[in-house]
Chains A and B, each alone.
Chain A
Amino acid sequence: EVQLVESGGGLVQPGGSLRLSCAASGFSVNNYDMDWVRQITGESLEWVSGIRPGGETIYADSVKGRFTISRENGKNSVYLQMNTLRAGDTAVYYCARRNWNYGGAYDFWGQGTLVTVSS
């Protein structure tokens, strides 16, 4: 059974850092495009970052230079290192798998982890 479990969210002051983790089971993260998508409470979804099977990474302009996505195949996990956090980064962060059997749509999502940036 495919599962994605995020962790690492919490309360952090502006300018601070957090590292989110996404532990996968039921498939290998190095065989799929893996993305982070965030959702401000009550609002829509915003794509944040992605990592490809070949290791290529891509970022939304709003986080470029501050966030780093990575993958650890041995732990079958994906990470999002978030630095220089701002109030506008406050959101639930989801880890999601893109499946090219579904045209690259997100076929599995984690339950999300809440990041709150506030003093």
Chain B
Amino acid sequence: EIMLTQSPATLSLSPGERATLSCRASESVLNQLVWYQQKRGQAPRLLIYDVSNRATGIPARFSGSGSATDFTLTISSLEPEDFAVYYCQQRITWPLTFGQGTRLDIK
């Protein structure tokens, strides 16, 4: 099973600041890495697929990068609605696995 480790666990920033979230895989997932956003009481929402491709309707301030085992989700300038939990997920092998999440809090 591929383990995904996200860091930091919690990130406290202010609106307008840049957020950088990390996801590290225990072995290479090539480019098969996905990012989701989850707000309290809601289902996850697809943000980024295959490392760097934004899903339909996702603002350009969200971007993804990385390869093999190290990946980054960047939010260039935080909006109030961006404060949520973010999960990475690998889809290269079964079982599909998720990271433990990074909580993005308002400072």
Contact = CB atoms under 8 A, between A and B. Distances in A.
Interface residues of B, number: 23
A68 B70 CA distance: 35
B81 to A, nearest CB: 18
B107 to A, nearest CB: 22
A2 to B, nearest CB: 12
A60 B95 contact: yes
Nearest to B6: A44
A94 B96 CA distance: 15
B46 interface: yes
Contacts of A94: 43-44
Contact of B43 (A44, A47, A103, A112): A112
Contact of A61 (B32, B55, B95, B99): B95
B62 interface: no
A106 B45 CA distance: 8
A72 interface: no
A96 B36 CA distance: 13
Interface in A24-81: 35, 43-47, 58, 60-61
Contacts of B44: 45, 94, 106, 109
B94 A105 contact: no
Given A103-B50, A107-B46, A44 B101 contact: yes
